[in-house]
Structure 1
Amino acid sequence: MLRYTILGTKVMFAPSKILVRTLFESPILRNNSCKTYTFNDIKHLIENPLSDKILVDVREPEEHLEYAIPTSVNIPVNTAPGALGLLAEEFQKMFNFGKPETSKELVFYCKSGTRAKAAEELARSYGYQNTGIYQGSVTDWLKKQSHKLSSKN
């Protein structure tokens, strides 16, 4: 097995496989825990909005148009995975709202939580260290608060 260190990352080459292990000194790993939000936390956030927290729907625009949790913005992780890495002007043109500052807390949700976790990890790679996930996501929201979902149609 061949071993190299490239930009602080240990890279080990094995026959037909490349294994990459990020060192624990990485700023992403130093603070790699994100907050987990429950239905009640999200409900409280919607009823008492905070300027330093942004609820981010990472589903596709069609899904967001069908229904969305109130106050959320849509940054689709599948079709725009690099969105948070865009320059502010490019982000504004693409999404028609301002790029969140890295100091803001981004609280991600999707349909069931899988895309939210992926988006949270991407956000960290772009310098957003204050992140959270509503793991129940829209599925949980629909069960508990469907009469208050905002329709974007």
Structure 2
Amino acid sequence: MMLSRSITPITWRLSVRPLSTSSQLFNNVFKSYKFKDIKELIEEPNSKKVLVDVREPEEHMEYAIPNSINLPVNTAPGALGLIAEEFKSLFKYDKPDLTKELIFYCKSGTRAKVAEELARSYGYQNTGIYEGSINDWLKKNGKNVRSPN
């Protein structure tokens, strides 16, 4: 007699510590970026900084701040924990080096804070958040800001 077992899928639940815990744990506070800082970064790119859009790909395709990469925090929360080859295969660009400063943005700032916390858990110690995110960027006419490239 053959017994059949039903297999229940495992659901992983991500638990993120509050930002204050992160700052205390790593003895470092994330940098807060404003519109003028991001505008300057677009107009004068800095190879030591990576602007990271953590919205979903559909949102990123609708409109994204120039020169940003897309790492969707909701559907790919472990992206920065991937090895470089897997990262490149999945996202089609190189994984940011741990020495780079990652500056996160989303629609309003909430997902950016979660992504910043996750980045720290993967060893990225130099992080920032554009707290106004895409809403602030568009409100302040950022869509007219162009990269020199």
**2:82 pairs with 1:116:** no
**2:50 pairs with 1:54:** yes
The structure with the largest strand share of the pair is 1
- Between the aligned partners of 2:117 and 2:52, the Cα distance in structure 1 is 14
Task: Show the 5 A alignment for 1:22-101.
Answer: 29-101=25-97
CA contact (8 A) 1:28 1:124 kept: no
What SS does structure 2 have at the residue aligned with 1:79? coil
Over the aligned positions, Cα root-mean-square deviation in angstroms equals: 1.9
Listed one character per residue, the Cα deviations across residues 88-132 of structure 1 (whole Å, up to 9, x for unaligned) are 000000000000000000000000000000000000000000000
Q: CA deviation at 1:147?
A: 4.0
What SS does structure 1 have at the residue aligned with 2:32? strand
Q: Counterpart of 1:130 in structure 2: which amino acid?
A: N
CA contact (8 A) 1:68 1:149 kept: no
Shift in CA distance, 149/61, structure 1 to aligned 2, threshold 3 Å? farther
Please, what TM-score do these two structures have when normalized by structure 2?
A: 0.80
In the comparison of the two structures, how many residue pairs are matched?
Answer: 126
Q: CA deviation at 1:144?
A: 0.5
Q: Counterpart of 1:125 in structure 2: which amino acid?
A: S
Please, what TM-score do these two structures have when normalized by structure 1?
A: 0.78
Note the residue ranges of structure 1 that are not aligned, 5 or more in a row: 1-20
**2:101 pairs with 1:105:** yes
